Structure 1
Amino acid sequence: MSKVTGIVTELITPIVEEVGLELVDIEYKKEGSNWFLRVFIDNETGNIDIDDCRLVSEKLSEKLDEVDPIPTAYFLEVSSPGAERPLRKDKDFTKAVGRNVHITTKEPIEGATTFEGELVSYEDGKLTVKEAKKTYVISQEQIDTARMAIIF
Structure 2
Amino acid sequence: MTHPLIPSILELATPLAEQLGLEVVEAVFQTSKSPPVLRVDIRNPTDDTSLDDCERMSRALEEQLDVTGLIPNAYVLEISSPGVSQSLTTDRDFSVFKGFSVLVKTSAPHGGKQQWQGRLQGRDEETVYLNQKGKTIKIPRNLVAQVLLDNPE
The answer to whether structure 1 residue 26 and structure 2 residue 26 are counterparts is yes
In structure 2, the partner of 1:11 is 12
In structure 2, the partner of 1:37 is 39
Give secondary structure in 2 for the equivalent of 1:118: strand
Normalising by structure 2, report the TM-score: 0.63
Matched residue count = 147
Do the aligned residues in 2 keep the contact of 1:93 with 1:122 (CA within 8 Å)?
A: yes
Deviation, structure 1 residue 54: 0.7
Could you say what the CA RMSD is over the residues aligned between the two structures, in angstroms? 4.0
Percent identity between the aligned chains? Answer: 27
Do the aligned residues in 2 keep the contact of 1:118 with 1:129 (CA within 8 Å)?
A: yes
The answer to whether structure 1 residue 122 and structure 2 residue 123 are counterparts is yes
The answer to whether structure 1 residue 81 and structure 2 residue 82 are counterparts is yes
Deviation, structure 1 residue 59: 1.0
Deviation, structure 1 residue 16: 1.8
Do the aligned residues in 2 keep the contact of 1:125 with 1:140 (CA within 8 Å)?
A: yes
Unaligned runs of 5+ in 2: none
Unaligned runs of 5+ in 1: none
Distance of 2:125 and 2:29 partners within structure 1: 33
Distance of 1:134 and 1:8 partners within structure 2: 45
Deviation, structure 1 residue 82: 1.6
| Paired residue type of 1:80 | S
